[in-house]
């Protein structure tokens, strides 16, 4: 589970990253969701609020699609990956497959260079550096990313093209609260390919666009995100 705050380590804590094990298998959303389900069942918790950021939203989406809402009260999608990032005949708003292939090639060849550019695009450093985020934060985020499994760094890119449309259709029928928060300047998961189509599929969700916010809005627009999250939790 992933909760928004100003700690870079919270960006990704799934298998292969953070303090999780360096597994060589299981980098797919069925497995991520199973990991989450195991945690929830072992803890035996109910009325859970799942808050996901970026890839973490995919984990939440697949969990709800696979295991249902019985233990869940609310779900939060921040900088969401859903509903389907890859452009196809049935998903014209998605991104060209060349984008994924290029990212994968760079990640395989030199993941450190890949992660440097990725961090720059996460924070839109040409717009936010020295204004909304410091160089120290960028460096810390890069170091945290580099501390993850090399295998996971590459495998994560492959998961970006996962189709969550079936999961989202199920979520639309659940009686749970849903919050969607997205930055209009997100270069990693562009809003027209993600949050706006997701909103159309989840019309009852609370939907918030943060003007000018990049993908890394948890740092650059932390007060705005926290305001929306706390209001949603209190509702």
Predicted local distance difference test score (pLDDT) of residue 13:
56
Contact 97, 71 (CB under 8 A): no
Predicted local distance difference test score (pLDDT) of residue 160:
96
Whole-model pTM: value is 0.92
DSSP-based three-state secondary structure for 48: strand
Architecture of domain 8-234: 3-Layer(aba) Sandwich (3.40)
Query: 210: closest CA among 132, 136, 106, 147?
Result: 132
pLDDT at 20 over 90: no
pLDDT tens digits along 48-67:
999 999 999 999 999 999 99
pLDDT tens digits along 145-191:
999 899 999 999 999 999 999 999 999 999 999 999 999 999 999 99
User: What token pair was written down for 219?
Assistant: 């740092």
pLDDT at 3 over 50: no
**What's the whole-number average pLDDT of the chain?**
92
Across the range 217-232, mean pLDDT stands at 98
Question: How is the chain split into domains, by residue range?
Answer: 8-234
Task: Collect all residues with Cβ–Cβ distance below 8 Å to 215 and sequence separation of at least 6.
Answer: 54, 79, 121, 122, 123, 124, 183, 186, 187, 188, 189
Q: How far does CA 227 lie from the centroid of its chain? A: 19
Across the range 193-216, mean pLDDT stands at 98
Query: 215: closest CA among 84, 78, 112?
Result: 78
Residues belonging to the active site: 54, 186, 215
Task: Give 15 or 65, the one with higher predicted confidence.
Answer: 65
- Of 4-18, 121-135, 186-200, the one with minimum mean pLDDT is 4-18
Instruction: Work out the pLDDT band at 208, boundaries 50, 70, 90.
Output: very high
pLDDT tens digits along 80-131:
999 999 999 999 999 999 999 999 999 999 999 999 999 999 999 999 999 9
Instruction: Work out the pLDDT band at 23, boundaries 50, 70, 90.
Output: confident
């Amino acid at each position: 589970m992933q909760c928004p705050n100003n700690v870079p380590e919270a960006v990704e804590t799934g298998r292969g990253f953070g303090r999780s094990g360096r597994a060589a298998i299981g980098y797919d959303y069925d497995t991520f969701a199973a990991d989450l389900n195991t945690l929830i069942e072992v803890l035996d918790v109910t009325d859970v609020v799942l808050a996901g950021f970026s890839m973490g939203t995919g984990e939440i989406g697949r969990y709800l699609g696979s295991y249902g809402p019985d233990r869940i009260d609310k779900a939060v999608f921040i900088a969401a990956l859903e509903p389907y990032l890859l452009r196809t005949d049935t998903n014209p708003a998605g991104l060209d497959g060349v984008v994924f292939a290029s990212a994968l090639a760079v990640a395989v060849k030199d993941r450190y260079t890949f992660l440097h550019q990725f961090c720059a695009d996460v924070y839109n450093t040409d717009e936010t550096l020295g204004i909304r985020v410091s160089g120290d934060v960028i460096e810390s985020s890069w170091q945290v990313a580099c501390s993850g499994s090399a295998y996971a760094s590459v495998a994560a890119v492959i998961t970006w093209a996962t189709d969550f449309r079936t999961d989202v259709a199920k979520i639309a029928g659940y009686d749970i609260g849903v919050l969607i928060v997205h930055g209009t300047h997100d270069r990693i998961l562009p809003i027209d390919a993600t949050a706006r189509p997701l909103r159309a599929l989840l019309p009852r969700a609370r939907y918030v666009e943060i003007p000018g916010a990049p993908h890394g809005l948890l740092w650059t627009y932390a007060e705005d995100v926290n305001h929306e999250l706390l209001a949603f939790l209190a509702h």
